[in-house]
Amino acid sequence: MLTKAPVSLFKNIRTLVERSRNDIVKTINTKMVETYFEIGRMIVDYEQSGKQRAQYAANTLKDLSLKLTKEFGKGFSVDNLENMRKFYSTYKISETPSRKSVASKKNIKKSETLSRKLKPLNTFKLSWSHYVLLLRIENSNERSFYEKEAISEGWSVRELKRQFDSALFERLSLSRNKKKVKELSNKGQVIASAADIVKDPYILEFLMLKEHESYSENDLENAIITKLEEFLRELGKGFLFVGRQYRITFDEDHYFIDLVFYHRILRCFILIDLKIGELKHQDIGQMQMYVNYFDEEMKEDTESKTIGIILCKNKKESIVKYTLPKGSQIFASKYKTYLPDKSELKLLMEPEVVYSVNEKS
């Protein structure tokens, strides 16, 4: 008589098989990207071997595309072959030693030195579709930033496109000098202080609220809760949702904070207040009260000071400047319900930062 397999055994085996399949998919994707990099190298090497070959490069790719498609099927269109060539040219580094060191140390022949292969900067950790999208970004600093964030945050291709379209790099660069912008490209977004997590503006196009339509602060809050996953991605790394309309009480009076989060990297509470109109100094004073309360009543000794963010549709910088004390943990940021114009954001940046951002790779 057959007996049923234990549920725990089935679940453990299922988990193992699913994990194995995921690993296989990742391995296949990595191998495919490495193969495309090598194809790009072969194409570049072939084209650079003579002027005549370079002159007829377009026809070469057309012929190559026809033959490879006939042999292997999809994936070898002319456009994709051009992407492979560009992929190699973008991500290669030379391992060729200097001529002096070659001559003095190993006496390697010049022909051998020049024939050394070029290898990728790092192990490819994203899919080919990710890299095709990244190749469209001309500025090397910007491209490097999005690549690192896509890897560390596990962005899908769709999310990578959304973050690029929302001008995340430019928005983070607005509050940074040239050195800090370079750090974004070298390390991605590093969270070390309250200022590192704040954006201005925040882009909330996913809420589907039209720019000129009438809606209340409650409508805005409900839309955010409905799209909480997307809102968390827009806030950035490290945010954990605690609650909405969070009630605090003192002197028998009740106050309600629109949204409360916790930041696992900075180890502190983050309070968000929503304003659909122009920011007033009373709004800042109210947020200061909320922050003071959390620091006194909610924060543990081992945790960092509470951060307050006021999301408003409009703000006057003078109100913020003369209401908030220096070194304050409170920030006022605008929000937009549509994707921004990247060129407009670049104009807002410091001249030396704009130069860095506009630099071609």
What three-state secondary structure class fits 312? strand
pLDDT band, very low/low/confident/very high, at 55 (cuts 50, 70, 90)? low
What three-state secondary structure class fits 318? helix
Average pLDDT in the 190-205 region?
A: 91
Q: Are 334 and 315 in contact (CB under 8 A)?
A: yes
Dump pLDDT digits (tens) for 263-309: 999 999 999 999 998 899 899 999 999 999 999 999 999 999 999 99
More confidently predicted of 283 and 51: 283
Top-tier CATH class for 202-339: alpha beta
pLDDT at 17: 84
pLDDT at 8: 79
Average pLDDT in the 10-15 region?
A: 80
pLDDT at 5: 62
Q: Say how many residues make up the chain.
A: 361
Residues 6 or more apart whose Cβ sits within 8 Å of residue 345: 167, 170, 171, 174
What three-state secondary structure class fits 208? coil
More confidently predicted of 351 and 334: 334
C-alpha–C-alpha distance, residues 110 and 107, integer Å: 9
* H/E run at residue 121: none
Around Cβ 328, how many Cβ atoms within 10 Å?
Answer: 16
More confidently predicted of 286 and 28: 286
pLDDT at 113: 40
C-alpha–C-alpha distance, residues 28 and 35, integer Å: 10
pLDDT at 273: 96
pLDDT band, very low/low/confident/very high, at 340 (cuts 50, 70, 90)? confident
More confidently predicted of 123 and 138: 138
Of all residues in the chain, the percent with pLDDT exceeding 70 is 82
pLDDT band, very low/low/confident/very high, at 14 (cuts 50, 70, 90)? confident
Whether 146 has a pLDDT exceeding 90, the answer reads yes
Per mean pLDDT, which range of 14-28, 50-64, 81-95, 191-205 is the poorest? 50-64
pLDDT at 355: 38
pLDDT at 202: 94
C-alpha–C-alpha distance, residues 319 and 264, integer Å: 31
pLDDT at 180: 75
pLDDT at 56: 58
Dump pLDDT digits (tens) for 308-336: 999 999 888 888 888 887 778 999 999 99
| Mean per-residue pLDDT over the chain, rounded | 83
Of all residues in the chain, the percent with pLDDT exceeding 90 is 48
CA atoms in the 13 A half-sphere facing the CB of 75? 11
Residue 8's identity, in one-letter code, is S
More confidently predicted of 55 and 180: 180
Per mean pLDDT, which range of 3-17, 101-115, 130-144, 310-324 is the poorest? 101-115
C-alpha–C-alpha distance, residues 291 and 293, integer Å: 5
Domain ranges across the chain: 10-120, 137-192+343-361, 202-339
Whether 10 has a pLDDT exceeding 80, the answer reads no
